[in-house]
Amino acid sequence: MPAAFAVLTAGLLAFHRAVPNSVGRLGSLLEAFLPWLGLVVVVLLGVALLRRSVTALVALLLPVAAWTYFFGGLLLPGAGPGVHDLVVVQHNVSDENTDPAGTARALADAEPDLIALEELVPPALPVYEKTLAPDYPYHTVRGTVGLWSKYPLTGARLVDIKPRGITETWSRGLRSVVHTPHGDIAAYVAHLPSVRVRASGLASSWRDESAGLLGRAVAAEKLKTVILLGDLNGTVDDRGLAPLTSRMNVAERGFAFSFPAAFPLARIDQIMARSATVGHIRTLPPTGSDHLPVTARIALR
């Protein structure tokens, strides 16, 4: 039995794209927690050792090889600072955050060049603006998403990523040009719709539709270098984010599970780039949000 489960686990890791999404979006649900299949391997190893099953131990080489191939590289140390690096922070600050000033100070303490925030609500926005102003004199906000920068920003505009089924006021995407010393960069900040795990499976149709709209906006971007920061409500393995991950580079090192903050199970807060390399991604200490902030160093080409 352990040998059979080992082969099944290896198959799910290696061929997760073959799991259909037609029923309950089971494929996306699996992909949201794909790295955690490594725990199944650990459990199976314990069972194999208890049973002294040579067959099971040999079979376990398959999921170990598959997991190492897909995720082993994320455990390697990141490269050191480069010549033209940009440090960025992404954080869903939560519309229920009772300490926006403390959250803003914690993000600024990481000394990033750019800070992207989601779930900005009107009562808290002036607090973020005032607290971040000394170190980040440039900022732009559209709806509930915002971007703070050490470098000048121009051309800020709304990016329409609203799914057809949402009828109320809904503004969760922006684009701005960041004028860095190393050239202009198009920065996108986005907050895709939430997904829900139900008895019928994963409810992600709005998220998937919004990801498609954002992917088309990035594809149409005329500037060569693009950075995307946002709460995308999906992992980089989730096929629902394929319109983005097929066009942009994701982090080369680090897991940085960001949600939920109390017991992080997945990284749904993402940092991606086009014509640039996202290095090691990591989480920052908890704030007043139910998400953890994530930060990464981006090497400009």
Q: Does the pLDDT at position 15 exceed 70?
A: yes
pLDDT-derived band at 196, boundaries 50, 70, 90: confident
pLDDT-derived band at 56, boundaries 50, 70, 90: confident
Q: Does the pLDDT at position 107 exceed 70?
A: yes
Give 3-state DSSP helix, strand, coil % of the chain, rounded to 5.
35, 30, 40
DSSP summary character for residue 233: S
CA distance 11 to 215: 30
Cis amide leading into 260 (omega within 30): yes
Tell me whether strands 196-198 and 153-158 are parallel, antiparallel or unpaired.
unpaired
Return the higher-pLDDT residue of 112 and 85. Answer: 112
Supply 44's token pair: 């199976």
The pLDDT assigned to 47 comes to 87
Q: Does the pLDDT at position 80 exceed 80?
A: no
pLDDT-derived band at 79, boundaries 50, 70, 90: low
Place of tokens 């050191």: 80
Q: Label residue 240 left, alpha or beta by phi (over 0 means left) and psi (-120 to 50 means alpha).
A: alpha
Q: Does the pLDDT at position 82 exceed 70?
A: no
pLDDT digits (tens, 9 = 90+) for 136-193: 999 999 999 999 999 999 999 999 999 998 988 899 999 999 999 999 999 999 999 9
The pLDDT assigned to 142 comes to 97
Return the higher-pLDDT residue of 292 and 23. Answer: 292
% pLDDT > 70, the chain: 97
85-300 maps to which CATH number? 3.60.10.10
Q: Where are the beta strands (DSSP E) in the chain?
A: 85-92, 114-118, 138-142, 145-149, 153-158, 173-180, 183-191, 196-198, 201-203, 226-231, 269-274, 276-283, 294-300
The pLDDT assigned to 248 comes to 98
Q: What is the pTM of this model?
A: 0.94
Q: SS3 of 294, please? A: strand
